[in-house]
Structure 1
Amino acid sequence: MTSSNVQATFDRLLLLPGVVGAVLVDGDGVPVRTNLPENAAHMYANRMRPLVALARTMVQDMETGDQLSYVRLRTRRQELMVATENEHTIILIQDNRALDESRRSNASSRRWSS
């Protein structure tokens, strides 16, 4: 994925329901783009790096030749989606209430349109 594709993906992700923050991290673990305060962006980048490395190792140990695509973490208040692509990582922080409401609305609209 080229740098411009990563930037475009980042911009699209910011428009998703419930998104409260996003951080684009380079291969050195440095936030290069974010809509969060700088200290929060660095905190997310620093905390996710070892988790992504561990998940990557686990996937490779379980299925040789496979690669990690993304990690999804859900807490009571937030859902974090961490997508990895080559040297870039995108961390997306979503509010659970807005995310769940959006999912319910989409499921309801699909039921009625069938």
Structure 2
Amino acid sequence: MASNSVQATFDRLVQLPGVTGAILINGDGVPVRTNLPADVTRIYADRMRPLVILARSMVHDLENGDELTYVRLRTRRQETMVATGHEHTIILIQDNRVLDESRRNSVASRRSSAL
């Protein structure tokens, strides 16, 4: 099972604005925690693994000694963020409309508090 800090991170990420799904995957590529249906979880886990392996290889080829830590994919409807580690991967799916609105509000809030 995932460590307490990974579990806590997962729990915190699920609460972010616009999150529609989250998957915690162990080092063997097996989903250990999710808030999505099993069939959707399996699709994300199965499809993301080769992409992460390819991205890791590319990072290594471009900058020997560097490591892939994060992959971000954005479509018209959603944004999928993948945080990779040695033992776990977290996949987070967010609705673009909610995510963009949250970002706009955050920027506006920082600007008004700076004044």
Tell me the CA shift for residue 87 of structure 1: 1.6
User: Over the residues paired in the alignment, what is the CA RMSD in angstroms?
Assistant: 0.8
**SS in structure 2 at match of 1:28:** coil
2:72 aligns with 72
1:57 aligns with 57
**Residue 95, structure 1, aligned to residue 78, structure 2:** no
**SS in structure 2 at match of 1:80:** strand
Q: State the alpha-carbon separation in 2 of the partners of residues 97 and 108 from structure 1.
A: 17
**Residue 5, structure 1, aligned to residue 11, structure 2:** no
Equivalent pairs, count:
113
TM-score, structure 1 length as denominator? Answer: 0.97
Q: State the alpha-carbon separation in 2 of the partners of residues 39 and 29 from structure 1.
A: 15
**SS in structure 1 at match of 2:80:** strand
Q: State the alpha-carbon separation in 2 of the partners of residues 99 and 108 from structure 1.
A: 14
TM-score, structure 2 length as denominator? Answer: 0.96
**SS in structure 2 at match of 1:107:** helix
Percent identity over the alignment is 71
**SS in structure 2 at match of 1:61:** helix
Tell me the CA shift for residue 66 of structure 1: 0.4
Structure 1: runs of 5+ lacking an equivalent? none
Q: State the alpha-carbon separation in 1 of the partners of residues 7 and 85 from structure 2.
A: 12
Map 1:27-46 to 2 at 5 A.
27-46=27-46
Q: State the alpha-carbon separation in 2 of the partners of residues 4 and 113 from structure 1.
A: 35
Tell me the CA shift for residue 3 of structure 1: 1.2
